[in-house]
């Protein structure tokens, strides 16, 4: 949970850009924070921390199973940044536990599953193929060369 907190408060505002719906890397230099608005793997990394624990697995983790509802109720300041869904449709219960909130998860997946962004016939690109990302990366390289 400390990682989630850091992602949402790093540099004073966190790495999430609410307007774009993406996590961007940041450059910290001389006391200034500059978001690097280049859609890259950095914005996809929060999607790696996703788990779908089944009831039979949670039954083997009684302390975790007991603490999770407490955490969601008493630490809403941190819990609002994660996704926690329960499938109540019957059968074996499944839950989704993820670092991004549902809204953020959906917004980032729009980029990941877009062939004009990250999705390619060979998998997921580490850098978006959008023209905005290419221009942003080129500008960043030019600044570093100077």
pLDDT reading at 67 higher than 60: yes
Whether pTM > 0.75 for this model: the answer is: no
**Cβ neighbourhood burial of 78 (10 Å; 0-12, 13-18, 19+):** middle
| Residue numbers of the domain that contains 133 | 1-49+101-140
Residue 145 lies in a domain: no
**Rounded (10°) CA dihedral 70, 76, 77, 78:** 60
Q: Tell me: the pLDDT tens digits for 90-125?
A: 555 567 777 788 888 899 999 999 999 999 999 999
Domains identified in the chain, total number: 2
> 10 vs 75, which has greater pLDDT?
75
Question: Do residues 101 and 15 make contact, with C-beta atoms less than 8 angstroms apart?
Answer: no
Look at residue 132 in the predicted model and tell me its pLDDT: 74
Domain check: are 45 and 105 in the same one?
yes
**Cβ neighbourhood burial of 137 (10 Å; 0-12, 13-18, 19+):** middle
Look at residue 76 in the predicted model and tell me its pLDDT: 76
Question: Do residues 130 and 115 make contact, with C-beta atoms less than 8 angstroms apart?
Answer: no
């Amino acid at each position: 949970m400390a990682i989630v907190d850091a992602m949402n408060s790093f540099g004073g505002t966190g790495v999430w850009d609410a307007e774009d719906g993406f996590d961007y890397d940041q450059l910290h230099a001389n006391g200034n924070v500059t978001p690097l608005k280049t859609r890259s793997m950095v914005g996809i990394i929060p999607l790696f921390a996703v788990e779908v624990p089944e009831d039979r697995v949670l039954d083997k983790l009684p302390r975790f199973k007991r603490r999770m509802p407490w955490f969601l109720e008493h630490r809403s300041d941190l819990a609002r940044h994660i996704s926690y869904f329960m499938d109540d449709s019957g059968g074996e219960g499944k839950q989704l536990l993820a670092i991004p909130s549902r809204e953020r998860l959906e917004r980032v997946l729009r980029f990941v599953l877009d062939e004009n962004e990250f999705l390619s016939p060979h998998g997921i690109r580490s850098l978006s193929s959008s023209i905005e990302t290419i221009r942003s990366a080129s500008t960043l390289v030019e600044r570093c060369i100077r």
